[in-house]
A = this chain, B = another copy of it.
Amino acid sequence: MKIAVLGGDGYCGWATALYLSARGHQVAIVDNFVRRQWDHELGAQTLTPIAPLSDRLKVWQRITGHEIENYVGDVCDYDFFAAMVQSFEPEAIVHFAEQRSAPYSMIDRKHAVATQVNNVVGTLNVLFAIKEFAPECHLVKLGTMGEYGTPNIDIEEGYITVEHNGRKDTLPFPKQPGSFYHLSKVHDSHNMMFACKIWGIRATDLNQGVVYGTITDETAMDEALINRFDYDEVFGTVLNRFCAEAAIGHPLTVYGKGGQTRGFLDIRDTVRCIEIACNNPAGRGECRVYNQFTEQFSVLELAHLVAAAGKKMGLEVKVDNLPDPRVEAEQHYYNAKHSKLIDLGLKPHPLSESLLDSLMNIAIKYRDRVDQGLIAPTVNWRSAANPARGRVSVSEPELKGTPERAALVSSND
Which residues in A have some Cβ–Cβ distance to B below 8 Å? 32-34, 37-38, 41, 74, 76-80, 109-114, 116-118, 120-121, 124-125, 128, 131-132, 151-154, 160, 162-165, 167-169, 171-180, 183, 186-187, 190-191, 193-194, 197-199, 327, 333, 381-382, 384-385, 394-405, 407-412
Asked whether, in the complex, the Cβ of A152 is within 8 Å of the Cβ of B176, the reply is no
**30 A-B residue pairings within 8 Å (CB atoms):** A34-B409, A37-B411, A74-B409, A76-B400, A110-B404, A111-B404, A112-B124, A113-B404, A114-B405, A114-B407, A116-B124, A117-B117, A117-B121, A120-B187, A121-B401, A132-B384, A132-B385, A152-B168, A153-B162, A153-B167, A154-B167, A171-B174, A174-B174, A176-B193, A198-B327, A394-B404, A394-B408, A397-B407, A398-B403, A400-B403
Asked whether, in the complex, the Cβ of A113 is within 8 Å of the Cβ of B121, the reply is yes
Q: How far is the CA of A266 from the CA of B72 in the complex (A)?
A: 53
Asked whether, in the complex, the Cβ of A37 is within 8 Å of the Cβ of B76, the reply is no
**Cβ of A194: which chain B residues have Cβ within 8 Å of it?**
177-180, 183
Once A125-B109, A401-B121 are accepted as A-B contacts, the answer to whether A34 and B74 lie under 8 Å apart by CB is: no
Once A132-B385, A169-B152 are accepted as A-B contacts, the answer to whether A183 and B190 lie under 8 Å apart by CB is: yes
**Cβ of A32: which chain B residues have Cβ within 8 Å of it?**
409, 412
**Cβ of A131: which chain B residues have Cβ within 8 Å of it?**
384
Q: How far is the CA of A121 from the CA of B399 in the complex (A)?
A: 12
Asked whether, in the complex, the Cβ of A117 is within 8 Å of the Cβ of B152, the reply is no
A384 to B: closest C-beta gap in Å: 5
Once A113-B404, A401-B402 are accepted as A-B contacts, the answer to whether A190 and B177 lie under 8 Å apart by CB is: yes
Closest B residue to A133 by CB, please name it: B384
